[in-house]
Each structure stands twice: as structure tokens, then as C-alpha cells.
Structure 1
Amino acid sequence: MKKVILIADTGIDDAIALIYALKNPDVDLLAVVSGYGNIERDKAYRNVEYLLKLADRTDIPVIAGATRPLSGEDPIFFPNIHGAEGLGPIDPPIPEERYSNRTNFRKLFRLIKDNPGEITIVNVGRCTSLTIAWYLSPEVMGNVKETFVMGGAFLVPGNATEVAEANFFGDATAANFICKNVPNLSVIPLNVTREALLTPNQVDFIASRANTRLEKIIDPILDFYYEVYQEQEPGIEGTPQHDLAALMATLDLPGLFTYKKRKVRVQHEESYANGLSIADFRPGTTDCSGEGCSRIAMEIDQKKFVKQVIKVFADYREKR
């Protein structure tokens, strides 16, 4: 069983990743760090607690993360994509004000100390909270087994700008720090997450087998997400599950992803290309090794992705 700490800015695709972690028996979710990104930090925190309550898993600690990028600038939120509260049409009955003025990494550090060399961190939001944790205690963070980051776009267009993916663009300084300094790092970029699609028919099938309060919110939030994507990209077959793909990558499912190892840098000095993820894929280049070398997911087997999602969300296994 994989021991996971999830760092999220809990909009719709983060919520789907969290639900997957809660439902998958191969994932032991130890904690969730909630930070700003898709929505304000306090709303992200509130959304995590709401989902954990629906799952009857209030034993899982929620840790308040960063409220803004390392630059100190006010973040840009995306209510047009994730809804005003971050969960599409869902309005959680918990006031977000309850979570103001909370930033405490003591719980995070204690979990890592108690599980040395066993924890996988999955960062599916901005890289700010993860970077702050490394700034505060590199000794403790050095005990993390491996780190997966959803972010970047290599040789494909961005989704925040023409060249930049949203998580790296939202705090490019933090993203660059993580890519340069965090050992055993896997980067799960738009190259693969953009292809991790769930179609309306597949979502309807999942909804038809939903029995719990947690399972029953998958359908309305993904329906909302689908309508948003139809406006942005008319004709797209489904909704990209960016964060779910990154979480699924931690399970090392055979043949799901193909990888290349490269040193990654993120353009973080204010320019037109802010947030651009950079790696050397020129002909003749080969996999790197050693310090600063990251594993980058380059391709995904979409059929295997959907099969795994259906298996976990709908408790469904194909007959042989």
C-alpha cells in the first residue's frame, strides 16, 4: 500500500483525485495539504474537509498550505472553470472563514518523521506549499521517499498561457525550485494529463453505480467540468483528469505511462514565457542521471487509464 500525502488546491480535478485516493485500497492517504490555486486557500481547505466528511474519513488530517505565490503577488483564481466554491455546482455547507489564519507544517513534518523513507508526496496544485516545506526543513523533507508533481508542458501548448501550464505558471519560482532540488521527482505534465479523458458516457456509468454520498458528487461536478471544457474546446470528447493522472502515476501501473529522464528548469524571471517548463529533447539527447534529474511522463495509455478509473470508482472489473 502506497503511503501518500496529497498537496492540492481543491478544485474539481483535485477533488476527483482525492476521491480516488479515498476509494483505492492501494492508497493510504495520510494527510492533505490544501493551498491556494484554483480557488482561495481557505476554500480549498474547506473543500477537503467537506469531502473527507462525506467519506467518513475525518481522521485524515488537513494541513493549511500557502495563500499566495512566493513572489507575494495576489494569485489569480479560476471560478469560471471550477465554480465559485471550487466544486462546480456544489456549495459545501461549511463556512470558509473557519480556516483563516492557519498555516502550520508541524503535522506534515511529524508524519514524515514517523514514516521515514515511506511517504510519497503528490503535488497537484501550485508548488508553493511544497517549496515552503523544503525551505523550512530540508532535513525532514529529505526523508520523503518520492515526489510526484502535476505540472509543466513539454513540446505541447500550455493551458494558462501559450507556453505555460497553470500550476507552474501560478508560482514559477516555486516550480523551478522543486524541479532543480527535489530528489526522486516525477513530473506529470499536460503531455499526458491532457489525454487522461473521461467521457460523459463513462461518467454516467460511474454515476449509475454510486452508492455513497461521496460517490454521488462525482457526476454533478464532472458534468459541470464538461460544460466548461465544451465552451473552451468545442468538441472535446471528455474532461481531462489532470490531477487524477498524477495520483495514479504513483501506483506504477504497468504500461500506463512512458517516461524520459531529463533535467527540468522553469522560466521564473518575469517575461512573456513565465512558467515555461524546459527540458532538452533535442535529437541525440539521452536520459540523465544524478542530482537534479527528473522523470517526465511523456505518453499515457488512455484505455488503461479509463479501465483503472472505472475499476476504482465503479468497483467494476471486466469479465475475462
Structure 2
Amino acid sequence: MTVPVIIDTDPGVDDAVALLLAAASPELTLLAVTTVFGNVDLETVTGNALRLRSLAGLGPVPVAAGAARPLVHPQAERADHWHAGDGLGGCAAELPDPDGPVDTRGAVPLMAHLLDTAGAPVTLVAIGPLTNVALLLASHPEVKPQIGRIVAMGGSLSGGNTGGAAGFSTAEFNVYSDPEAARRVLVEEDVATTLIPLDLTLRCAVDGMWLDALAAAGPRCAALARVVEHYRTQFRERSGRDEVALHDSLAVLEAAVPRTLRTTALPLEVVCDHGPARGVVLADRRPGATGRLVDVALDADADAVRAEVLRRLQSLR
């Protein structure tokens, strides 16, 4: 039996890799792709999702647009410096034209409908800001029993990848984009959740040889590798190393093959004030700490993860 999934995303270079990885994962039945503001604006990420649906050969899988802004406060920063203005490394126009329109129901109504009519628990793979997921849980609490779990890429327990309120890296981008939504999902709700933080995704970064192997794997992978190239350049300029963190792919792989990542159950807090720690995710490791537990992925066989993601993508020839 396959796992039904809905992917909520803000494509995004690493989101593009994750969507093609989902298409290459036979364990998954992709019910829908929903989009949320994030790396770039909502209109752009939705267009990207439609093009990526065509590239991945996902056929009739619906794509629906969701939140264009955070729950409460304006988004503090975008990530077009990483992903380019079109969100896909300057290569969006090179991808296949959309093979169908956007679903007019919108992200949250579509998610609620699919959950309500699902014959098995659905995994929500959230790889952008958590705004759509927070809105779903608040407006349709009746569908929560149909959510098998939420697998989210976001947060960091040891430093971030944003400018942050104080002008230096304090928080991870997805959580920083809407801390109030993240707090709703990670702290206030009780739906089973696996969180994959920046701490682990950076340790599973892929190198230049991996990316070259992807580019040589066939036309779809070659198109994906061109999308990644701008991202690769940004990583090289910032770190001095020829590597790329494919953050969101870890969430898709964990959804397809549960327990690929080793998790620790921890109570979390998300900082929502406007000080220098806004968007920071805190884990309460004190003995006897209470509160809702989230399975936080803190370890994995990084070599095995890299190899498995590449193997699956290469099957898309």
C-alpha cells in the first residue's frame, strides 16, 4: 500500500528537487501540490509548481495556490538571492509549459476535501512556511484524524540561514517567514509531526560529483541540474565548497521511507516576538520537561541519504 501525500511547497530550487523526488518514489501517491508564499511571491511559486508538475510527469495531480502572506506580520525577507528572481535559478522559462491550469478551489479547501475523502491517513509534507498548514488545522479541525503525520522541513536548533531581526543569522527561513504559523503547528497542535531542521539538512549536503551525476542522468535530471546551478554557485560563494543542501528532499524521503531519519521526541517553542530571536525554534531538553512532543530529526546516515536521493532521481530518465 502506498502512502497518500499532499506536498505544501514554495518552489524554490530545493523544492523542485523534492517534487521530482516525490515523482520518483513509488511508495507515495501524490494527491496534490499546494503552494505558499516563501522563497519568492505566491504567483511565481505557483507557476513554478505547474511547470514542475509538467517536468515530473505528474499528470492530473492538482496544483492549488494558498497563502500569499503570513498569518500576522509581513514576511521579513525572501530568498531570491539563493533561488534567483524566478525562484528556479533563472531557469523557470526553460522548463516545460504547464500542462493544465491551477486548481481554483485554493490550497486549504483542496487539502480539507482530500483529507475528508481519503481512504487512508494522509501525510502532509510541508516544505515551505507553515501558513497553509496552520490555516487548515484552525479552519478544518474535523480533518485532523485523517492526517497520518506532518513531515516538515524547517527550524534549526543551532543557528539559522536568515538575516534575522538583528541582522545576523538566527533562524531558519521557513519558520522565520511565519513564526506564528510555525508555533501553531509545532507547539499548539497535537497532530503527529516530524520536523527536519537545518542542523540535519546541512549535514546531508551533496557535492559537485553528486550534482554532475544528476546532470548526466537523462533529460529531466539535466533540466533539474540546470535549475540547481544558480543555487550551487551561491553555496560555493558563501562556503567556499562545491556543495548544495537539498533541504526539502529529506522531508520527501522520510515520508516515503519512514525512519530513514533518526528522531528524538522533544517539546519545542517558537519565538514570535520581534527581538533578535524571532523565528528561532527552541528545544526544551530539561529533565522532566513537559509539553507537546515533536519528533525532531537530528541524525541520519548522510551517505545513504545522498545515495538514495540520487538513485531515485536517476530513475526519472
TM-score over 0.5 for the pair? yes
My pick for the range that moved more, 242-251 or 6-15, is: 242-251
Q: Cα deviations across residues 160-198 of structure 1 (Å, max 9, x unaligned)?
A: 133211111110000011012141111110111111211
2:140 maps to 1:137: yes
Gaps of 5+ in 2: none
Counterpart for residue 206 of structure 2: 198
Counterpart for residue 124 of structure 2: 121
Q: Which whole-Å CA distance do the structure 2 matches of 1:199 and 1:285 have between them? A: 41
Superposition deviation, residue 106 in structure 1: 2.4
2:270 maps to 1:269: no
Q: Which whole-Å CA distance do the structure 1 matches of 2:218 and 2:60 have between them? A: 23
Answer yes or no: is the 8 Å Cα contact 1:41–1:66 preserved in 2: yes
- Among residues 179, 192, 199, which one is paired with 1:184 in the alignment? 192
Q: Which whole-Å CA distance do the structure 1 matches of 2:315 and 2:183 have between them? A: 39
Counterpart for residue 158 of structure 1: 160
Superposition deviation, residue 260 in structure 1: 0.8
Q: Cα deviations across residues 283-305 of structure 1 (Å, max 9, x unaligned)?
A: x568x7xx721100111211111
What is the root-mean-square deviation of aligned Cα atoms in Å? 2.3
SS in 1 for 2:203: coil
Change (3 A) 1:166 1:74: closer
Counterpart for residue 76 of structure 1: 77
Q: Which whole-Å CA distance do the structure 2 matches of 1:313 and 1:99 have between them? A: 25
2:178 maps to 1:174: no
Answer yes or no: is the 8 Å Cα contact 1:63–1:108 preserved in 2: no
SS in 2 for 1:265: strand
SS in 2 for 1:174: helix
Q: Which whole-Å CA distance do the structure 2 matches of 1:25 and 1:251 have between them? A: 8
SS in 2 for 1:263: strand
Answer yes or no: is the 8 Å Cα contact 1:47–1:92 preserved in 2: no
SS in 1 for 2:31: strand
Q: Cα deviations across residues 139-161 of structure 1 (Å, max 9, x unaligned)?
A: 1233211111111111x111113
Q: Which whole-Å CA distance do the structure 2 matches of 1:296 and 1:100 have between them? A: 33
- Superposed, 1:90-105 pairs within 5 Å as 90-92=91-93, 103-105=106-108
Counterpart for residue 227 of structure 2: 221
Aligned-partner residue type, residue 302 of structure 2: Q
Answer yes or no: is the 8 Å Cα contact 1:48–1:62 preserved in 2: yes
Aligned-partner residue type, residue 30 of structure 1: L
My pick for the range that moved more, 85-94 or 116-125, is: 85-94
2:114 maps to 1:108: no
Superposition deviation, residue 279 in structure 1: 1.1
Superposition deviation, residue 253 in structure 1: 5.2
My pick for the range that moved more, 8-17 or 303-312, is: 303-312
User: How many aligned residue pairs are there?
Assistant: 305
Superposition deviation, residue 281 in structure 1: 2.4
Aligned-partner residue type, residue 181 of structure 2: A
Superposition deviation, residue 117 in structure 1: 4.5
Q: Which whole-Å CA distance do the structure 1 matches of 2:293 and 2:55 have between them? A: 39
Answer yes or no: is the 8 Å Cα contact 2:64–2:104 preserved in 1: no
Change (3 A) 1:217 1:58: same
Q: Cα deviations across residues 244-298 of structure 1 (Å, max 9, x unaligned)?
A: 01111223455x422110111100122210001011224x568x7xx72110011
Change (3 A) 1:25 1:100: closer
Answer yes or no: is the 8 Å Cα contact 2:172–2:198 preserved in 1: yes
Gaps of 5+ in 1: none
Superposition deviation, residue 102 in structure 1: 7.5
Answer yes or no: is the 8 Å Cα contact 1:66–1:103 preserved in 2: no
- Among residues 280, 287, 291, which one is paired with 2:284 in the alignment? 280
How high is the sequence identity, in percent, across the aligned residues? Answer: 24
Q: Which whole-Å CA distance do the structure 1 matches of 2:107 and 2:177 have between them? A: 22
Aligned-partner residue type, residue 269 of structure 2: R
Change (3 A) 1:285 1:200: farther
Q: Which whole-Å CA distance do the structure 1 matches of 2:177 and 2:105 have between them? A: 21
Q: Which whole-Å CA distance do the structure 1 matches of 2:35 and 2:305 have between them? A: 26
2:313 maps to 1:313: yes
Superposition deviation, residue 99 in structure 1: 6.7
